[in-house]
Amino acid sequence: MNSVQILLDPTAETAAVSQPRIARVPSLEGRTVGLLDIAKPRADEFIDRLDELLRARGLAVKRYRKRAFMERAAPELKQKIRAECDVVIEALAD
Amino acid sequence: MKLLDDGLVAVVKRDCPTCELVVPVLRSIDRSAPPLEVYVQDDPHYDEGLRNVVDDHELETSYLLDVETVPTLIRVRGGAEVSRIVGWNRDEWRNLTGIADLGDALPATRPGCGSKTRDPGMPARLKVRYGETGLGSRLIELPGDVDPEEACFDRGWTDGLPVVPPTQERVLDMLTGTARSPGEIVAVIPPNLVPCSVEKVAINAVMAGCKPEYMPVVLAVIETACRAEFGLHGVLATTNAVAPAVMINGPIARAIGMNAKGNVFGQGNRANATIGRTLQLVVRNVGGGRPGEIDRAVFGSPAKYTFCFAEDEEDQRWESYAVSLGYSPQQSTVTIFPGDGNTPVIDHTARTPEELCRSFAGCLRAVYNPGHVVQLQAFLAVGGEHQQVFYQAGWSKARVKEELLKLLLVPMSEVVPGRAGTDGLEEWQVAAKDGFVPKFATGPLNIIRAGGSAGKYSAIISGIGGNKTIRPVTGEIKL
């Protein structure tokens, strides 16, 4: 038997990058909250309710929607949310 | 490899009758036109009368000289080859050696035999040993006493079944099945959106058990499955059971021996089994899509090991799926669509197309939920005996589809709310409480032919999608 066998790596040969979370805001006071509907059925019900609750606390709320839930959010959408909001809540529903 | 500086080099094998025939000739050269080096591929005792016989059973020199046929006779000057001849041809040998009466007693010509460097599997082995493989993947060294199949399991490279260990030799062999270069990028694989090279596809094809001749199909499968319209990320990530189903049309399916007949969706055919499995292994190993991680399926399906088949195109009475899309019958194509597995439709008594369509419609209506009308699609595979019912009545495939769509109108009052629900329907459809909506309101219903000739069965391959997301996609297989 050979002393060594050689196989070819079938994987992408990349290691997962572990990124630190963005720092949490200490309080929502005075912040703008983005609500992202990923376009899953009934996500809007959840988002509508959050919208109500956040506005009742006097917070600014902005709404966003992905084109289709199976697709990744377009870079333009992500940039827009980042530019316009301090925090974002993304809703998944069925 | 160090050849003599000036002289002649012969490469022979004892097992070749022409090499035996030229022994007296080689002795003459050795006497009257030295130096002569004779490399023997199989038996260093080829001829004791020759002065410079070199054992080349490892085939290093034969490989580096790129010998295809034995005997090969090469003229060397200043350490480099200047000319070569193969087989026995008296005039050529006299020209090359300058010996006027060489081989007087021999017939004028005799063809040679294949060099051992061309034995099955040998080119790849020799390339790994003595050449440049041109492969870019990381080499993983295992101690000799480690079981390579177990090593593949340990590294998480398998779908739960054993894989063929991807050695360099096997991968090089696999790459002989395509003219595309190993470094060429085939597709970007979800979920990690990793560019995947021909070489990585070949490695996973080896592991899945493919033959090199499947490579053009495998490459087209990977390329097509990763097109945005199909939504492979969604098919992978969903809580649904769905798998990417692979259907092959055209001459290549027959050329590589794919099954379109009995047990078409089942086990037992190597091409069907391994081509579908390669797609899943590429998603797993290159794309990083694994169950319990990105793959959130509640049930999954055996179809997620492999789901690949050929459409039955033997009978010309109905056009194939690919032809209905505008491809010619001479083109080979791959179609990828979301498939949950298959649901049998059994009807032993229907003798008219209308009766049979009612059975089909009843089963199709029940897909996912009798009240579920959006975000679903289906391929209906009509089996052999059911096809006969339509042929005898002169019904085209289009007519069957038209009849089914008529029967598959769901009263709005029965449409289920909730998941999918009315999302995807037009407002007027939802508003018309007494109205009807098509069962396949947002996704296609396609009819294909497949399966054995005995038994009154058909099969529904249902799948999620429709509307803007997850559509069947078709691409041409280029040889």
Domains assigned to chain B: 7-117 (3.40.30.10), 334-479 (no CATH)
C-alpha–C-alpha distance, residues B2 and A81, integer Å: 68
Whether B421 shows a pLDDT value over 60: the answer reads no
Q: Retrieve residue A35's tokens.
A: 């609500």
C-alpha–C-alpha distance, residues B104 and B107, integer Å: 8
Whether B424 shows a pLDDT value over 90: the answer reads no
pLDDT score of B265: 98
CB contact set of B44 (below 8 Å; sequence gap of 6+): B53, B54, B55, B57
Within an 8 Å CB–CB cutoff, is residue A41 touching chain B? yes
pLDDT score of B415: 86
Contact present, A35 and A64 (Cβ < 8 Å): yes
Nearest chain B CA: its distance from A25 CA (Å): 28
**Which residue intervals of B181-326 are DSSP H helices?**
198-208, 215-225, 232-237, 251-255, 270-285, 321-324
C-alpha–C-alpha distance, residues B212 and B286, integer Å: 20
Whether B215 shows a pLDDT value over 70: the answer reads yes
C-alpha–C-alpha distance, residues B317 and B119, integer Å: 45
Query: What is each CA distance from A24 to A34, B28, B360, in whole angstroms?
Result: 15, 91, 55
Q: With contacts defined as CB-CB under 8 Å, which chain A residues touch B148?
A: 5, 7
Q: What is the mean pLDDT of residues B38-65?
A: 95
Query: pLDDT tens across B298-325, in order?
Result: 999 999 999 999 999 999 899 999 999 9
Q: Which residue of B has its CA nearest to A93?
A: B419
Whether B450 shows a pLDDT value over 80: the answer reads yes
Q: Retrieve residue A89's tokens.
A: 């809540």
Whether B419 shows a pLDDT value over 70: the answer reads no
CB contact set of B382 (below 8 Å; sequence gap of 6+): B390, B400, B447, B448, B449, B450, B458
How high does pLDDT run on average in chain B?
A: 94
User: Which DSSP letter does residue A22 get?
Assistant: P
Query: pLDDT tens across B340-353, in order?
Result: 999 999 999 999 99
Within an 8 Å CB–CB cutoff, is residue B441 touching chain A? no
Query: pLDDT tens across B173-206, in order?
Result: 999 999 999 999 999 999 999 999 999 999 999 9
Nearest chain B CA: its distance from A3 CA (Å): 4
Indicate yes or no: CB of A68 within 8 angstroms of CB of B468.
Answer: yes
Q: Which of B175, B415, B423, B464 to mutate to test the interface with A (most CBs of A within 10 A)?
A: B423
C-alpha–C-alpha distance, residues B14 and B473, integer Å: 56
Whether B428 shows a pLDDT value over 70: the answer reads no
pLDDT score of B417: 63
Indicate yes or no: CB of A8 within 8 angstroms of CB of B231.
Answer: no
pLDDT score of B269: 98
Q: With contacts defined as CB-CB under 8 Å, which chain B residues touch A69?
A: 234, 469
Strand order in the sheet with B53-55: B53-55, B36-40, B7-12, B72-77, B80-86
Nearest CB to A7 within list B140, B285, B470: B140
DSSP line for B392-454: HHT--HHHHHHHHHHHTEEEGGG---SSSTTTTS-HHHHH-TT-EEESSSSS-EEEEE-S-SS
pLDDT score of B422: 63
Residue B423: pLDDT band (50, 70, 90) is: low
Contact present, B374 and B442 (Cβ < 8 Å): yes
Whether B171 shows a pLDDT value over 70: the answer reads yes
The SS3 of residue B279 is: helix
Nearest CB to A8 within list B203, B286, B420: B203
Residue B100: pLDDT band (50, 70, 90) is: very high
Q: What is the mean pLDDT of residues B198-219?
A: 98
Nearest chain B CA: its distance from A2 CA (Å): 5
pLDDT score of A2: 54
CA-based R_g, chain A, Å: 20
Whether B1 shows a pLDDT value over 80: the answer reads no
Q: What is the mean pLDDT of residues B13-19?
A: 97
| Terminal Cα-to-Cα distance of chain A (whole angstroms) | 57
Torsion angle of C-alpha atoms B420, B424, B430, B435, degrees rounded to 10: -90
Indicate yes or no: CB of A5 within 8 angstroms of CB of B204.
Answer: no
ipTM: 0.87
Whether B262 shows a pLDDT value over 60: the answer reads yes
User: Which DSSP letter does residue B250 get?
Assistant: S
C-alpha–C-alpha distance, residues B453 and B225, integer Å: 30
Query: pLDDT tens across B35-51, in order?
Result: 999 999 999 999 999 99
pLDDT score of B374: 84
Nearest chain B CA: its distance from A11 CA (Å): 5
Residue B479: pLDDT band (50, 70, 90) is: confident
Q: Which residue of B has its CA nearest to A67?
A: B468
Question: Can you list the residues of chain A whose pLDDT is less than 50?
Answer: 1
Q: With contacts defined as CB-CB under 8 Å, which chain B residues touch A10?
A: 137, 157, 166, 200, 203-204, 207, 281, 285-286
Nearest CB to A5 within list B148, B200, B287: B148
Within an 8 Å CB–CB cutoff, is residue B423 touching chain A? yes
B63 Rama sector, left if φ>0, alpha if ψ -120 to 50, beta otherwise: alpha
The SS3 of residue B192 is: coil
In degrees rounded to 5, what are phi and psi of residue A57? -90, 5
Within an 8 Å CB–CB cutoff, is residue A69 touching chain B? yes
CB contact set of B232 (below 8 Å; sequence gap of 6+): B190, B225, B226, B244, B283
Nearest CB to A70 within list B233, B281, B285: B233
C-alpha–C-alpha distance, residues B290 and B280, integer Å: 10
